[in-house]
Amino acid sequence: MWFKRQKGRRNFFRKVQTEPYQARRFKNPYFQQVSKKSKWPFAIAGIVLGLTIALFSFFFTAPIFTITSVRVEGAETINPKEIRTIVEDHLNSSAFLIFKKNNRFLSDKDEIKEKLEKDYSFSSLEIKREGHTLAVILKEKVSSFLWQSGGVSYLLDNTGAVIRTTLPEETTSIMNPPLLYGATKDGSLMPELIKILVFKDLADKPVEIGQVALTENEVKNIRSFFDAMLASGISIEAFELNRDVGTWFKAVTRNGYDILLDPDGDILKQADSVLIILREQIKDPSVLEYIDVRFGDHVYYK
């Protein structure tokens, strides 16, 4: 019997598995090679960060940009040292935790103005940089009134607004100004000084810088009354008032008596009433306690 050689059966599974193996296409998922990423972005970012820090450090710490002195110009009654102290405190304060504001890029002129105007009231105020110097150029408001309340003295401007507080020695000088006599070097007479009027608030209410303590009408009338009395030989030491009691004022004279007046009334008529009473009714002013001219044609005295 003849046997035919049996043909081998094709094993397709083996073929499928063998071909990829021979082609080296198998990869172990646990030992795959990690592709290397470029380090240039990190290097560039590091360089940029380093340059930024260096530039910040240069502009904020270099001596060429440092403010080393403060100059105050225009101060007359204000002590320039007080202004410099406020400005220097600002310059020595910190900025961004690690820098100081004594750098021209970090100093804030608006912030300095705000701090100065918290303690003083100016007619004009300018702050500018001049090299390594910070210049404070100011013009003071004209003051001819002293307001005393709660043991503190303040200067008022011609509109009745509070300008600033005064030091004890300055207050003493205002209350007791030195007398000036004689002629100047060029032969002219010494100019007549404007008398600063003193107001005492008996209610002891606190006031703030910029607050209106007297109305413009009160300022105008009280000045007129003072001048009228002074021209007639009556020197007023101070005006006392108490807003809790009324709007009337009491003028304390150096002649030994008081004058009660209404600052919102006809002030010149009240001044005339005082002079008429003294001329026609009072024979001995030394025993006079007060004259009350608050009620128009009705004048009272004791």
Count Cα neighbours of 163 within 13 Å in the Cβ-side half-sphere.
21
Cα distance between residue 84 and residue 70, in whole Å: 6
pLDDT surpassing 50 at residue 51: yes
For domain 143-185+192-301, give the fold: Rossmann fold (3.40.50)
- More confident call, 60 vs 222: 222
Beta-bridge mates of residue 198: 146
In this structure, what are the phi and psi dihedrals at residue 274, rounded to the nearest 5 degrees?
Answer: -60, -45
Cα distance between residue 139 and residue 158, in whole Å: 15
Q: What pTM did the predictor assign? A: 0.68
- Common-topology check for domains 64-140 and 143-185+192-301: no
Helix axes 80-91, 109-119, angle to 10 degrees: 140
Give the pLDDT confidence of 274-296 residue by residue, as tens digits: 999 999 988 888 889 999 999 98
pLDDT surpassing 80 at residue 261: yes
Domain borders along the chain are: 64-140, 143-185+192-301
Cα distance between residue 250 and residue 238, in whole Å: 8
Give the pLDDT confidence of 194-225 residue by residue, as tens digits: 578 999 999 999 899 999 999 999 999 999 99
Cα distance between residue 225 and residue 248, in whole Å: 13
Give the pLDDT confidence of 140-152 residue by residue, as tens digits: 888 889 999 989 9
Assign 86 a pLDDT band (cuts: 50, 70, 90). Answer: very high
Q: What is the CATH number of domain 64-140?
A: 3.10.20.310
Q: Is 7 helix (H, G, I), strand (E, B) or coil?
A: coil
295, containing H or E segment:
strand 290-295
Compute, in degrees rounded to 10, the torsion defined by CA atoms 90, 206, 150, 228: 110
Share above pLDDT 70 across residues of the chain, in percent, rounded to a whole number: 74
